Amino acid sequence: MTHDTYVATGDMPWLNFGNGIDFKILRTSQETGAWSVLFRCAAGSSFNPHRHLAGGEYLMLKGTMQVRGGKEKGGVTAKAGDYGYEPNGVLHDETFFPEESELYFTNHGAIQFLTPDLKPDFVLDYALLEQLGQSAAKAA
């Protein structure tokens, strides 16, 4: 029998992602490699440079996200209520949160995070998220 997925996000603890960013794992899929999370980003926080190894999409729930320097620098400035799609292969050298922000994010595969000089650092995928979630549950 097929079952729905239901997650009471208010009952879940925030997990530390780093750089002033926390997350909650909503769903992971070994079958497709897709994963969905909520990100909570402190004012002044940012994601390190990264390359999408599959398409991803986001919905801004609160605050502002500046991608590739924001609209003023030819990138994107997403505000609460805005939706965005990020295709496979896109490189984000700068993703900055000028104010406290939250977003719902689904990626349809992995993301390769890079060092500031754009060298490979680590890969975020469904398996790593499952491992982080299990470690957090054991620690609680």
Average pLDDT (75-93) is 96
Average pLDDT (119-125) is 95
Average pLDDT (46-69) is 96
Sheet holding 50-52, edge to edge: 91-92, 50-52, 111-114, 120-124
pTM comes to: 0.93
CATH of domain 14-129: 2.60.120.10
CA-CA-CA-CA torsion for 42, 46, 52, 53, nearest 10 degrees?
-80
So what's the pLDDT on residue 27? 95
